Amino acid sequence: MDLNLTAIIFVAILANNIVLNQFLGICPYLGVSKRIETSLGMGMAVIFVMTMAAIVTWVIYTVFLVPYDLVYLRTIAFILVIASLVQLVETVLKKINPTLFRALGIYLPLITTNCAILGVALLNVQAGHNIIQTIVYAIAAAIGFTIAMVIMAGIRERLDLADVSSYLRGAAVTLVTAGILSLAFMGFRGIMTL
């Protein structure tokens, strides 16, 4: 698949937004989007972990799985790799950079089994990206995730003050909002898709 990087970035952030169009990572999208501050923190942690995970899984895939014809084991291998990687990053970060650890720390375990991370790793190898495309796609997808989170958090901060009907208050109105937001992002598909 021959793709230029600009197209990958555009598609990953907007047209194929990981949360709003591919519906991956919905759990943190609804769970951590109560305040803009926390959603940004989560977004940063996702950018960090998603990039690292995409690189490592790509290497594992190319070096171990493809040569031995074990591609069918990729899901379980990736889960293993991502979980250990996040744990490793957490341990090292705690020692080396406590400030960063405190900022990202509470989000890291949340990300360990996040389907968005695994999804991006799988999508990368499925699309046959090379290492450069893999890194660019991972960062762009994570930025897309962050954007979706921050938009949602901004809306929810306003929703808290809005006069919502008692039947819809809370989770219901949040889901309706998420749906409308998703519809809005579907519009980008008219411009370009992969």
Partner 1 sequence: MDFVLSLGIIGGLGLIFGGLLAVAAQKFAVEEDVRVETICDLLPGANCGACGFPGCISFAEKVVSGQVSVDCCIPGGKEVCDNVCEVLGVASVASEGKKVAEVFCIGSEDVAPNKFEYHGVQDCKAAMMFGGGFKACTYGCLGLGTCVHVCPFDAIHMAANGLPVVNDDKCTGCGICVKACPRSIIHIVDKDRVGMVVLCNSKDRGKITREVCEVGCIGCKACLKACPNDAIVVENNLSYIDTDKCNECGECVEVCKRQGIKSISKSKVIAFPT
**Binding positions for partner 1, rule: CB under 8 A:** 60, 64-65, 68-70, 73, 76-77, 80-81, 84-85, 87-88, 91-92, 94-96, 98, 161-163
**Which pairs with CB-CB distance under 8 Å and at least 24 residues apart come from 172-175?**
174/30, 175/30
CB of 88 to partner 1, least distance (A): 6
Instruction: In angstroms, give the least distance from the CB of 193 to partner 1.
Output: 34
Q: Which is nearer to partner 1, 91 or 126 (CB)?
A: 91
Nearer to partner 1, 6 or 95 (CB): 95
Q: How far is the CB of 126 from partner 1 (least distance, A)?
A: 20
Task: Give whichever of 67 and 190 is closer to partner 1, judged by the CB atom.
Answer: 67
The token pair at 131 is 């290492």
Residue 8 or residue 81: which is nearer to partner 1 going by CB? 81
Are 57 and 124 spatial neighbours (Cβ–Cβ below 8 Å)? yes
Q: How far is the CB of 92 from partner 1 (least distance, A)?
A: 5
Contact 109, 44 (CB under 8 A): no
Pick the closer one to partner 1 by CB: 7 or 92: 92
User: Letter for the amino acid at 73?
Assistant: L
Residue 67 CB contacts under 8 Å (≥ 6 apart), including other chains: none
Residue 188 CB, shortest distance to partner 1, in Å, is 31
Tokens of 156: 């929810």
Q: How far is the CB of 35 from partner 1 (least distance, A)?
A: 14
Tokens describing residue 39: 């959603």
Q: Which CB atom, from 1 or from 161, has the smaller least distance to partner 1?
A: 161
Report how far residue 46's alpha carbon sits from residue 116's, in angstroms, rounded to the nearest whole number: 9
Cα dihedral sign, 87-93-95-99: negative
CA distance linking residue 111 with residue 133, whole number of Å: 22
Structure tokens at 190: 């008219």
